[in-house]
């Protein structure tokens, strides 16, 4: 993504809720701020310019649910409980269950070859239950704008636009608006 600000709105096809996200791409950092309407939740994510996670925070009903940071040494720290998250040591990817945004780490950083599956370790943060656990995600490039995603519960297509922002995750999320400011 080029430097600038982007606004994207997705509909959660399961709940009908709308997510309004803002992505600010700066010279060395990417900042994401998003409100999930109907869920009374908000998250902020800080990536470096290569889409490597620095930290994120999720709040629901003004209560911090997750507040985590990925350190340079590969360790994850839950800043709210002041706990080192050993189960995620050396994990590069994370996923929040209620948004397509966190899939963009993988879609932007993996060197995917058409038809070749790439399975990665992912720190999954379930926003509904407040629990986190290590999981595997597999991404397979179908063509320039389509990936196949699998997380053990089934396969879904992920469609991307020209800016490589997620347009749709089959049966889960669909973009309803995209603007470049």
- The tens digit of pLDDT for each residue in 133-142 reads 999 999 999 9
CA–chain centroid gap for 105, Å, is: 6
Angle (nearest 5°) at CA 135 between 130 and 140:
125
Place of tokens 């943060």: 125
The CA distance from 168 to 160, in Å, is 7
DSSP string, 125-148: EETTTTEEEEEEEEEEEEETTEEE
Q: What is the pLDDT of residue 48?
A: 95
Average pLDDT of span 89-108: 93
User: How does residue 146 score in pLDDT terms, banded at 50, 70 and 90?
Assistant: very high
pTM, rounded to two decimals: 0.92
Residue 29: pLDDT over 90: yes
The CA distance from 67 to 57, in Å, is 4
Residue 167: pLDDT over 90: yes
The CA distance from 64 to 35, in Å, is 14
CA–chain centroid gap for 165, Å, is: 11
Cβ neighbours, 10 Å, residue 74: 11
């Amino acid at each position: 993504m080029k430097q600038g600000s982007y606004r994207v709105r997705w509909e959660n096809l399961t709940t009908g809720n709308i997510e309004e996200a803002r992505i600010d791409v700066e010279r060395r950092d990417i900042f994401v701020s998003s409100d999930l309407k109907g869920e009374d939740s908000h998250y902020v994510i800080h990536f470096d310019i290569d889409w490597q996670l620095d930290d994120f925070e999720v709040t629901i009903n003004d209560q911090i649910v997750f507040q985590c940071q990925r350190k340079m040494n590969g360790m994850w720290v839950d800043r709210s409980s002041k706990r080192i998250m050993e189960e995620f040591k050396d994990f590069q990817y994370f996923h929040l269950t209620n948004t397509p945004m966190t899939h963009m780490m993988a879609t932007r950083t993996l060197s995917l070859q058409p038809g070749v599956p790439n399975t990665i370790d992912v720190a999954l943060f379930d926003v509904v239950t407040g629990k986190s656990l290590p999981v595997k995600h597999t991404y397979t490039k179908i063509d320039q704008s389509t990936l196949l995603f699998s997380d053990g519960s089934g396969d879904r297509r992920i469609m991307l636009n020209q800016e490589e922002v997620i347009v749709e995750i089959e049966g889960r999320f669909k973009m309803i608006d995209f603007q470049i400011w």
